[in-house]
Chains A and B, each alone.
Chain A
C-alpha cells in the first residue's frame, strides 16, 4: 500500500477536481455502493473522496484529526492507493504513485510518496 502526501493551498474539492482531470477519472464510480466519489465517513476523518478506476482504489483524505499521520503533519492531504483482490501488486502500486506524483506536480503543489 502506498500513500502519497500532498501539500497544496487548494481545498479537498479543488484537489479532487485536479486529480480527476489529470487521470481522466469519470464523474462517478461504477459500483453502486461507491457511486458517489465525494463521501462522508467519520472513519475517514469526515469529507473525503473515493475513486475506483481499473480496479484501483484511491482515497483522498485530509491529513488531520483521527486519520492524521504522525510525523507528516506538514502535508494537509494524502492519497491512499491500493487495489483489492491483488489486481495490482506492490510494484504496480508504487509505479502508479510515481505517475500520480508526476502528473499532479505543479509550482503550487508538492507530493511525497511513502510506503505504509
Chain B
C-alpha cells in the first residue's frame, strides 16, 4: 500500500511541476521538442489535456497557414497573475498565441498595428476564422479566450522577454 501511495505522490508531483518552457531555435525557426509535450502540465481552465489540445488544433486550423505554432501563456499556466499575483479565477482570460511569420505578414499587410513584431489585439478581428474560434472557445469553456499573433522574432522579443521579466510561463503542446 505504501508503495502505491508513493507512486501516486510521485505522479502528482510530476504533473504539479511548473511547466518548463522548452523552445529550441534551429536555423531561425522555433522548434518544440516532443519532450515539451510530456512536461507540459494541463493549463487551468481546461477539463483535460484532450480539451486543451483540441483548442490548439482548432486555432491552428483556423490560422490558414502551415507555419503556425500555437501556445498559451499567463495565469492559466502559472496559476497566478504575473503582475498582481492574484490566483487564476473568475475574470482571468485564456491567453493563447500563434507564432507565424506568414500570419503576421498578413496582418501587417491588412494595416494592423505591429509593435515589436507582435500584432495589436485589434488585429485579431481581421482574421474571422481565428476570431470565431475565440468566440466558440469562450462559449464552450465559460471563460474569455483570446489569441495574439506574433512573428518568430516577435515571440522572442515580446513573449520570451516578458517571461524573463515577470516569470510568466507558457506552454506549447
Please give the residue numbers on chain A whose beta carbons come within 8 Å of chain B beta carbons, in ascending order.
Answer: 1, 3, 32-36, 38-47, 50, 61, 66-70, 80, 82, 84, 116
Bound-state Cα–Cα, A50 to B121, Å:
14
* C-alpha gap A39/B144 in the complex (Å): 9
B122 touches A39 (CB 8 A): no
Residues of A contacting B156 in the complex (Cβ-Cβ under 8 angstroms): none
A82 to B118, CA, bound (A): 21
B146 part of interface (Cβ distance < 8 Å):
yes
Contact check, B143 vs A3: say whether CB atoms are below 8 A apart: no
List B residues at the A interface (Cβ < 8 Å): 73-75, 81-84, 86, 90-93, 95-97, 113, 115-116, 118, 120-122, 125, 135, 138-139, 141-144, 146-148, 158, 162, 168
Inter-chain contacts of A32 with B (CB < 8 A): 142
Q: Which residue of B lies closest to A41 (CB)?
A: B93
A38 near B91 with CB under 8 A, answer yes
> Do the beta carbons of A116 and B122 come within 8 Å of each other?
yes
Minimum distance in angstroms from B11 CB to a CB of chain A: 30
Contact A42 B144 (CB under 8 A): no
B130 CB → nearest A CB, Å: 12
Chain B residues, Cβ within 8 Å of A80: 121-122
- Cβ-defined contact, A43 with B113, below 8 A: no
Beyond A40-B75, A43-B96, A61-B121, 5 additional contacts (C-beta under 8 Å) are A1-B125, A41-B93, A42-B95, A45-B121, A66-B158
**What distance in Å separates the Cβ of B106 from its nearest Cβ neighbour in chain A?**
16
B115 A40 Cβ-Cβ under 8 A: no
Do A67 and B135 have beta carbons less than 8 Å apart? no
Q: Given contacts A66-B158, A84-B135, is CB(A36)–CB(B90) below 8 Å?
A: yes
- Please name the residue on chain A nearest to B146 by beta carbon: A43
> Considering only CB atoms, which chain B residue lies closest to A85 in the complex?
B135
Q: In the complex, which residue of chain B has the Cβ closest to the Cβ of A59? A: B121
**Nearest CB of B to A28, in Å:** 11
The answer to whether A40 and B148 have CB atoms under 8 Å apart is no
On whether the beta carbons of B146 and A40 are closer than 8 Å, the reply is no
B123 nearest CB neighbor, chain A only: A116
* Given A33-B142, A82-B125, also A69-B113 (CB < 8 A): yes
